[in-house]
A and B are shown apart, each in its own frame.
Chain A
Amino acid sequence: MGTALKIEHINKSYGKKQILHDVCLETNTGEVFGFLGPNGAGKTTLIKLIVGLISLDEGTISVCGHDVEKEFEAAMANIGGIVENPELYKYMTGMQNLKQYANMRNGVTKERIDEVVELVGLTNRINDKVGKYSLGMRQRLGLAQALLHNPKVLILDEPTNGLDPAGIKQLRDILKTIAHKEDVCVFVSSHLMSEMELMCDRVGIIVRGTVKSVQTIEEMLKSIDTSTATYLYKVNDAEAAKIMIGEKYPAYEIACDGDSEFKLTVTAENANELIADVNALMISGGIRLYGVQRQESRSLEEAFIELTDEGGTQIA
Chain B
Amino acid sequence: MLKLIKNEYAKIFLKKSTYIILGVCLLLSMGISMLIQYAYNQIDEYYYYGELSIEEDMSHYKNSEYVYDQIYYMECQMFIEMGYEYFSDVPSWVWDGVSNALYNHYAYVVASQMENRESAEMELGISLEGIDVEYEKKVSEEMLNAIKAGDYLVYNKSCLAYFDYQKENDLPFDQVQYEVYKYIVEHGISPEADEKKMFAVNMYASAKANYDTLTKQRDAGENVTEYQLEKEKKIFTIYQYVLDNNIDNYLTETLDYGDMYEGKTESNTNKFITAITSNTMIGGMAGIFVMIIAAGIIANEFSNGTIKFLLINPVKRAKIFWSKYITCLFLLVSSLAVFFVVYFLFCMLTCGTDGLDGVYLSYVDGVAHEESIILYALKQYALSGVSLLTSITLAFTISSLMRSNAVAIAISIVIEFLGATITMFLYEFGHDWARYLVFANTDLASISKGVTLFPGQTLGFALVVIAIYMVIFLLTAYDGFKKKEV
Chain A residues close to B by CB (< 8 Å): 48, 51-55, 72-77, 79, 81, 83-92, 96, 99-101, 103-106, 142, 145
Decide: A72 and B16 in contact? CB cutoff 8 A: no
User: B residues within 8 A CB of A104?
Assistant: 3-4, 7, 313-315
Return the contact of B14 from the options A51, A81, A84, A91 (Cβ within 8 A).
A91
Q: A73-B316, A91-B15 are in contact. Are A100 and B308 (CB under 8 A)?
A: no
CA–CA, A83 and B305, complex, Å: 10
CA–CA, A255 and B270, complex, Å: 106
CA–CA, A72 and B306, complex, Å: 19
CA–CA, A314 and B211, complex, Å: 93
Decide: B305 and A85 in contact? CB cutoff 8 A: yes
Decide: B316 and A87 in contact? CB cutoff 8 A: no
Q: Tell me, yes or no, whether B227 is within 8 Å of chain A by CB.
A: no
Minimum CB–CB distance from B308 to chain A (whole Å) comes to 5
CA–CA, A213 and B100, complex, Å: 109
Decide: B7 and A89 in contact? CB cutoff 8 A: no
User: B residues within 8 A CB of A81?
Assistant: 312
CA–CA, A48 and B485, complex, Å: 9
Return the contact of A52 from the options B3, B6, B312 (Cβ within 8 A).
B312
Q: What string of 1s and 0s marks CB contacts (under 8 Å) between B310-329 and chain A?
A: 01111110000000000000
Q: Tell me, yes or no, whether B11 is within 8 Å of chain A by CB.
A: yes
CA–CA, A105 and B7, complex, Å: 12
Q: Tell me, yes or no, whether B486 is within 8 Å of chain A by CB.
A: yes
Q: A54-B485, A91-B15 are in contact. Are A72 and B308 (CB under 8 A)?
A: no
CA–CA, A175 and B395, complex, Å: 44
CA–CA, A87 and B307, complex, Å: 9
* Total residues of chain B contacting the partner, CB 8 A: 23
CA–CA, A105 and B485, complex, Å: 23
Q: What are 22 A-B residue pairs whose CB atoms fall within 8 Å in the complex?
A: A48-B486, A52-B311, A53-B486, A54-B485, A72-B316, A76-B315, A81-B312, A83-B309, A84-B305, A88-B309, A89-B11, A89-B304, A89-B306, A92-B11, A96-B10, A100-B11, A103-B3, A103-B6, A103-B7, A104-B4, A105-B313, A106-B314
Q: A51-B312, A103-B6, A105-B313 are in contact. Are A88 and B486 (CB under 8 A)?
A: no
Decide: A100 and B312 in contact? CB cutoff 8 A: no
Q: Tell me, yes or no, whether B483 is within 8 Å of chain A by CB.
A: yes
Decide: A55 and B304 in contact? CB cutoff 8 A: no
Decide: B314 and A74 in contact? CB cutoff 8 A: yes
Return the contact of A54 from the options B3, B4, B309, B486 (Cβ within 8 A).
B486
User: B residues within 8 A CB of A145?
Assistant: 309
Decide: A87 and B311 in contact? CB cutoff 8 A: no
User: B residues within 8 A CB of A103?
Assistant: 3-4, 6-7
CA–CA, A85 and B309, complex, Å: 10
Decide: A88 and B306 in contact? CB cutoff 8 A: yes
Decide: B486 and A76 in contact? CB cutoff 8 A: no
CA–CA, A156 and B4, complex, Å: 25
New A-B pairs, 18, CB < 8 Å, besides A53-B485, A72-B316: A48-B486, A53-B312, A53-B486, A55-B483, A73-B315, A76-B313, A76-B315, A83-B308, A83-B309, A86-B309, A87-B308, A91-B15, A92-B10, A96-B10, A100-B10, A103-B3, A104-B4, A105-B313
Decide: B486 and A92 in contact? CB cutoff 8 A: no
User: A residues within 8 A CB of B3?
Assistant: 103-104
